[in-house]
Amino acid sequence: MPYKQNKEHNLKEEFEKALGTEIDFTCKYIISPHHRMKGKRDKTIWTLSHDGEVECFIFSYSSEWFEGNICYGLVIENNTPVVVGENPSGGKLKLAKFIDSSNTSLWHGYPADYLERAQDRPNESILRSWVNKKYITKAKMLKIRSGKPCNL
Amino acid sequence: MQPIKITIQGDYYDCQIYRGRLYLWTFEGGLKVYDWNELVDSLIESDLNRIAMTFSFKDGNYLYKNALIEIFKDQEFKELLIKKFQEIENTKYVLNEKQISKFLFGEQDTPTGLLPTDTEIYANKLYFITERGLFAGSAHRSKSDKYPVSSRPSKYWDCDLLSIKANRYPQLALSGGDEGLFELNLLENNWPKNLDLIENNKKPVFQVSNHHSSFSNYSYANIYNSSLVEDSFLALFQWSKYEDELKKDRYRRDFDRTISGDKIFSNDSAYNYLSWGVDDKMYRAKKNGFEVIKYINTFDPEKKRFKKLADIDLKEWKGRVIGGGSAHFGNIVECENALVVVQSDGNTFTIPEPVTRWRVYPRSLNYENHLHVILDDRLEIYSFHHDYFSNQMEKNIGIEFQPKEYKTRIPVSYLDESDNDEGNDDFDKKDEGHNIDIIEFDIDDFDADDLPF
């Protein structure tokens, strides 16, 4: 489905397809234009397409990588995380962060820059889940928690 | 000379060694504490190896003694000791979890239930950080206690920090990423007058800088702040003299100013080449090596503080330099794909795989020569012994060993009942013969007389 910027997308059908069962919760997603425009000093930008961004959110939400009203995400190819975006300096980013900022089940997201922003580091529970699935190693888990670069 | 290694198989996330006990955090969330001395003793197969094993793993301080420096001037004595080390260099000391279980002192779930991002044990307290903040609880407890460390630690601050490091004055440097550099002050009073107090839940936390901090370490009373994002810098402190109520001269450690890494190092370098500093030396990585600066610990503003010691050329780093530290035996450079030890004798030693975590203990009393490296399926404990034979004043790499700093009122060596004859009055006689069980250092007794100048 072609998703568009600045438009609320109800993802009920997508979740039911991903989970293989009917769902009884509401989950909407909006693609923020702030993370699509290059040149903003304090914003990371997606290199994923609109569809890729939403698919990343569905995968992350379905995997229950939650931390309160925050959800962290990855795009996995060949069991390895791939680049989802860039920071303002052009640094490649492989983590995604999604927020339901008003607690109304309306989510938006951006590429997370765990190296430059301490608050962009996923918690232990999420990182441990990634280690258990062999998406990252234990060494990379600690690098992320310690804000050190690693080749994810 | 090659380091001697003990390998402990298992899935570990963190480690500490403190006063004869090895603390291992398992990835599954357990904390296991082992009797390190018994473990090492179990590996000594012959009395012919006892001296080398003891100095390597239990008593790293002893061979730095002034008296022994004189003995090492006798080439025959020196060669005999080197031979003792060489005889066990190639021995594989490998223990699995079952084999070390007989040395288990105690075990428990890791306090708070979360794996620590970083830990320090200082003055019988375990300090650690998790995503929920900074915590502290008692450590080095007696065998009769239910747990080896407190299972209900106090929460000092709720900031999600990146790393912590203790000094001896006593403070802990706290690196908070883009939140900045902070310091936990363990003194009851006599706090710095010119830093912002931002938290005072159990102990005061001061903001030292709002610039990015990846990790930090102490250079005497100063903090070298290393950043993987911005320029690194030295946060300079000074001792301000004042009179207390009893008209006694007292000193307070106040913040002075920060000095940018670009003013300390001579080589042009973008901030992606990391720098770090510990005690008397500061290092900045460059493309094929690093630059070494000697820090002169002076309070005289007229004296030059920084002196270039050397440019060390090396083969290209194994990936980006992402961390660094220093011990007496050398400079430790963490690359993305390897850990490189540039030894104080000029040789290099490389662990050619990504490491989970590494630790050195240059401020400990018996483990200054240790390097602990956690890999995917094991902990490797290295002991370096070349530095005992180095000229401490002239070496370009590694912290200069200054015996005067290590004078204590209590014996600390396994081989000495009286490590220092001076001022031994406080030594508790009933602890004789068990001389690492030192008297607990009461941080509230901190006095200007203890200052290192």
Per-residue pLDDT of chain A (152 residues; tens, 9 = 90+): 688 888 889 988 888 888 888 888 889 999 999 999 887 788 999 999 999 999 999 999 999 999 999 999 999 999 999 999 999 999 999 999 999 999 999 999 999 999 999 999 999 999 999 999 999 999 999 999 999 998 88
Q: Please, which residues bridge with residue B177 across strands?
A: B213
Between chains, do A148 and B114 touch, taking CB under 8 Å as contact? no
For B245, counting Cβ atoms within 10 Å of its Cβ (0-12 exposed, 13-18 middle, 19+ buried), the class is exposed
Q: Contacts for B119-123 with beta carbons within 8 Å, 24 or more apart?
A: B119/B14, B119/B16, B119/B23, B119/B25, B119/B164, B120/B16, B120/B164, B120/B165, B120/B166, B120/B172, B121/B16, B121/B18, B121/B23, B122/B166, B122/B170, B122/B172, B123/B170, B123/B186, B123/B440, B123/B441, B123/B443
d(CA B35, CA B400): 30
Report residues of chain B scoring pLDDT below 50.
405-409, 417-453
What predicted TM-score, i.e. pTM, was given to this entire model?
Answer: 0.90
The distance from CA B236 to its chain's CA centroid, rounded to whole angstroms, is 20
- Contact criterion met (CB below 8 Å) for A124 and B115: yes
Nearest to B178 among A116, A123, A143 (CB): A116
Amino acid (1-letter code) at residue B76: E
Nearest alpha carbon to residue B176 among A150, A147, A120, A72: A147
The distance from CA B189 to its chain's CA centroid, rounded to whole angstroms, is 25
Q: In the prediction, which pLDDT does B44 show? A: 96
B416 Cβ neighbours under 8 A, 6+ residues apart: B62, B435
Percent of chain A's residues with pLDDT above 70? 99
Q: What is the dihedral of CA A87, A92, A98, A99, to 10 degrees?
A: -20
Q: How many residues belong to chain A?
A: 152
Q: In the prediction, which pLDDT does B446 show? A: 42
B133 inside 8 A of chain A by CB? no
Compare all CA atoms of chain B with the CA of A125 and give the residue at the minimum distance. Answer: B114
Q: In the prediction, which pLDDT does B272 show? A: 65
- Contact criterion met (CB below 8 Å) for B154 and B199: no
Q: In the prediction, which pLDDT does B275 show? A: 95
d(CA B320, CA B98): 37
B320: chain A residues, CB-CB within 8 Å: 149
CA distances to A5, A100, A126, B349 from A71, rounded to whole Å, are 20, 9, 9, 42
Residues 38-57 of A with CB under 8 A from B: none
A32 inside 8 A of chain B by CB? no
Between chains, do B130 and A139 touch, taking CB under 8 Å as contact? no
- Phi first, then psi, for residue B278 (nearest 5°) are -140, 125
B43 inside 8 A of chain A by CB? no
Q: Please, which residues bridge with residue B215 across strands?
A: B226
Q: In the prediction, which pLDDT does B73 show? A: 82
A115: chain B residues, CB-CB within 8 Å: 228-229
Nearest to A138 among B130, B323, B376 (CB): B376
Nearest alpha carbon to residue B449 among B407, B402, B399, B400: B407
A124: chain B residues, CB-CB within 8 Å: 114-115, 130-131
CA Rg, chain A, in Å?
Answer: 15
Q: In the prediction, which pLDDT does B412 show? A: 59
B354 inside 8 A of chain A by CB? yes
Extended strands (E) in B210-354: 215-219, 222-226, 233-243, 249-260, 275-278, 281-286, 289-295, 306-313, 321-327, 330-335, 338-343, 348-351
Chain B closest CA to A135's CA: distance in Å? 15
With vertex at residue B442, the alpha carbon angle to CA B372 and CA B120, rounded to the nearest 5 degrees, is 20
Q: In what order do the strands lie in the sheet with B125-130?
A: B118-122, B125-130, B133-138, B154-157
Three-state SS at B386: helix
Percent of chain B's residues with pLDDT above 90? 71
Q: In the prediction, which pLDDT does B21 show? A: 98
Q: Count other C-beta atoms under 10 Å from residue B159's C-beta.
A: 20
Q: Count other C-beta atoms under 10 Å from residue B169's C-beta.
A: 18
Nearest to A124 among B114, B176, B323 (CB): B114
Residue showing tokens 């939650």: A66
B176: chain A residues, CB-CB within 8 Å: 118
Q: In the prediction, which pLDDT does A30 show? A: 96
A118 inside 8 A of chain B by CB? yes
